[in-house]
Amino acid sequence: MKPKHLSGVPEGKKCMKPVESLVRDSVRGLKPCVHGAEVLDAAQESGLAASEILDFSSSVNPLGASKKALLAAKSSFREIPAYPDSNCNSLRSAIIEHFGRGLSEDNVVVGNGSTELMYLFAETFLRKGDVAVIPAPTFGEYENAVRKAGEMPRFVNLGKGFTVDTKTFGRMTGAKILFLCNPNNPTSMLIPKDTLIDIVEGALKQDTLVFLDEDFLEFVEGERELSLIGSIDRFPNLFVLRSFTKIFGLTGLRVGYGISSAKIVNALLCTKIPWNVNCIAQAAAIAALKDDKHLRVTRELVKKEKAWLSAQLACFGDFRVFVPAANFFFIDVRKSGLTAGEIKKAVLHEGVLIRDCTSFRGLDQYYIRVAVKTHSENERLIDALKKTVER
């Protein structure tokens, strides 16, 4: 019998360094961002079937995707054997037609969900030592995108009022990128257009790029006038993000897009991976853009149900309900004597899943977020909250 190698590794077999030591420094400390829509985890925790849980933690179209979009997705199955259009040219043309603002395909980049574009933007424009400014609280993937690119974000606390103002964000000396979300997630608060214009103008003077996330703006009345998409010619430092996840309801297909100057878009197109958006997602997105009726019905429903929910939530004396601009409510529950986590756990046993906002930087454990859904579903939410808070 041959003697074993002194290291305990069979003779002739090479030993490898620990994988952790091979990971890039900027990636080693990353942790997955916490999101809503954790229905499967909630089902396991509660013992309920996933189909029995109403998901108020994810703020997407309560009516789901357009039937025309689903039919287009099904029709595209025959395209599966071929590579998809790597630059989504037909979809880019449809986006330009949708806005009709004198834009061209050179102003549009499409991503595998809007989240891919957040990471792509940071990867493309952040050099070693660059600073990215991020409000707190806001969507957590901005931070992870910056850290994955190897740089450190600079956080600006929004304070108790959770407002973005020109004075605070007009002093960004040395910043390479400013991330803003309008309406903000999780607060559902809108940044006034005049304030945004002032911030972008100030950023331009300092050569700061502004990444403006308008994923939820399509739920806001008058969104065409509030959007800065029409200002990209005026501001070569501006990138406006949109998504097919929220109002279009194509959540599982992962499609997002950005509108910006041709130079910024070209840099992103050269950086992105090829074939990043599959043929089914592209076909569904094109059809969704053209279904004006589905968008109109969705907006009417959200407007009506948001008003109803607002009146119902106002009856909870221990809740501080912030006035929502988007299709979700941001609520301070500290006066109830319960934490957000405790409320989330209690209403889950009633078959309702809400968002505990504790994971958002800049918030404590007393904030929740709930989406606007159909009337019968909203009634179940209110009943579950009453059983929890008034018991």
Does 1 fall in a domain?
Answer: no
Q: Summarize pLDDT for 270-316 with one digit per residue, the tens.
A: 999 999 999 999 999 999 999 999 999 999 999 999 999 999 999 99
Residue 139 and residue 230 in one domain: yes
Which of 42-56, 205-219, 233-247 has the weakest average pLDDT? 42-56
Confidence of residue 23 (pLDDT cuts 50, 70, 90): confident
SS3 readout for 88-119? CHHHHHHHHHHHCCCCCHHHEEEECCHHHHHH
Q: What is the pLDDT of residue 12?
A: 61
Q: What is the pLDDT of residue 391?
A: 58
Does 188 fall in a domain?
Answer: yes
Residue 353 and residue 271 in one domain: no
Residue 57 and residue 72 in one domain: no
Confidence of residue 218 (pLDDT cuts 50, 70, 90): very high
Does 132 fall in a domain?
Answer: yes
Does 19 fall in a domain?
Answer: no
CA pair distance 319, 333, nearest whole angstrom = 5
The C-alpha angle 253, 255, 256, rounded to 5 degrees, equals 155
Question: Does the pLDDT of residue 26 top 80, yes or no?
Answer: no
The number of domains in the chain is: 2
Domain boundary among 291, 308, 328: 291
Residue 246 and residue 368 in one domain: no
Residue 102 and residue 154 in one domain: yes
Domain ranges, residue 129: 67-291
In sequence order, the 6+-apart residues with CB closer than 8 A to the CB of 283 are 72, 73, 75, 76, 79
Question: Does the pLDDT of residue 1 top 60, yes or no?
Answer: no
Over residues 199-227, the mean pLDDT reads 96
Does 277 fall in a domain?
Answer: yes
Q: Are residues 157 and 121 in contact, defined by beta-carbon separation less than 8 angstroms?
A: no
For β-strands 355-356 and 367-371, DSSP reports them as antiparallel
Q: Are residues 341 and 330 in contact, defined by beta-carbon separation less than 8 angstroms?
A: no
Domain boundary among 291, 317, 349: 291
Q: What is the pLDDT of residue 390?
A: 76
Q: What is the pLDDT of residue 6?
A: 53
Q: What is the pLDDT of residue 24?
A: 80
Q: Summarize pLDDT for 77-124 with one digit per residue, the tens.
A: 999 999 999 999 999 999 999 998 789 999 999 999 999 999 999 999
Residue 102 and residue 245 in one domain: yes
Does 109 fall in a domain?
Answer: yes
Q: Summarize pLDDT for 35-53 with one digit per residue, the tens.
A: 877 899 888 888 989 999 9
Question: Does the pLDDT of residue 355 top 90, yes or no?
Answer: yes
Supply the CATH number for residue 165's domain.
3.40.640.10
Does 287 fall in a domain?
Answer: yes
Over residues 12-37, the mean pLDDT reads 76
Percent of the chain with pLDDT over 70: 96
For 186, other C-beta atoms within 10 Å of its C-beta total 27
| Average of per-residue pLDDT values in the chain | 93
Residue 73 and residue 40 in one domain: no
Tokens of 59: 């703020």
Q: Which amino acid is at 3?
A: P
Residue 356 and residue 230 in one domain: no
Q: What is the pLDDT of residue 337?
A: 95
Question: Does the pLDDT of residue 320 top 70, yes or no?
Answer: yes
CA pair distance 245, 64, nearest whole angstrom = 10
Q: What is the pLDDT of residue 350?
A: 95
Residue 86 and residue 45 in one domain: no
Domain boundary among 229, 256, 291: 291
Does 10 fall in a domain?
Answer: no
Q: Summarize pLDDT for 366-380 with one digit per residue, the tens.
A: 999 999 999 999 999
Tokens of 130: 């660059």
Supply the CATH number for residue 327's domain.
3.90.1150.10
Residue 46 and residue 93 in one domain: no
Residue 53 and residue 116 in one domain: no
Neighbour-count burial of 340, counting CB atoms closer than 10 A to its CB (0-12 exposed, 13-18 middle, 19+ buried) = buried
Residue 236 and residue 187 in one domain: yes
